[in-house]
Amino acid sequence: MKILVLCDAGINRSVNLATRMKFWGHDVLSAGLDYNSTNTLDALCEWADRIIITAEDQWPRVLDHTQGYKHKVQLWNIGPDVYPRPFNITLDRMVRAMMQEHAEEYRP
């Protein structure tokens, strides 16, 4: 499955989640809503089979790029980016818990 993981900056939450999902054999990209152009985000959303956002407050921004792809978007509510690096232990625990919650849908 081709998965696009979006967070605000594309540095912490999306990187952690994308890295972990690659272990399940998916083709995964991470990106930031704040630091990629509209054209880039639109192309990535078109490419993806599934789009995962990492916080509820991202809905308005992601819907700008997914109007024809709303059915692909799924919220994994990790919450705001308060992590100093992508593999912060607290963030890593949250990502692993989210993966367990969605394991039946994503694990090969």
- Report the Cα–Cα distance between both ends of the chain, in Å, rounded: 10
Which pLDDT band holds residue 86 (cuts at 50, 70, 90)?
A: confident
Q: The domain containing residue 76 runs over which residues?
A: 2-106
- Above 90 in pLDDT, residue 49? yes
Task: Tell whether pTM > 0.85.
Answer: yes
Amino acid identity for residue 33 in this structure = L
Which pLDDT band holds residue 21 (cuts at 50, 70, 90)?
A: very high
Which pLDDT band holds residue 64 (cuts at 50, 70, 90)?
A: confident
Which pLDDT band holds residue 62 (cuts at 50, 70, 90)?
A: confident
- Above 80 in pLDDT, residue 32? yes
Amino acid identity for residue 12 in this structure = N
CATH of the domain at 93: 3.40.50.2300
- As for how many domains the chain has, the answer is 1
Structure tokens at 80: 């705001």
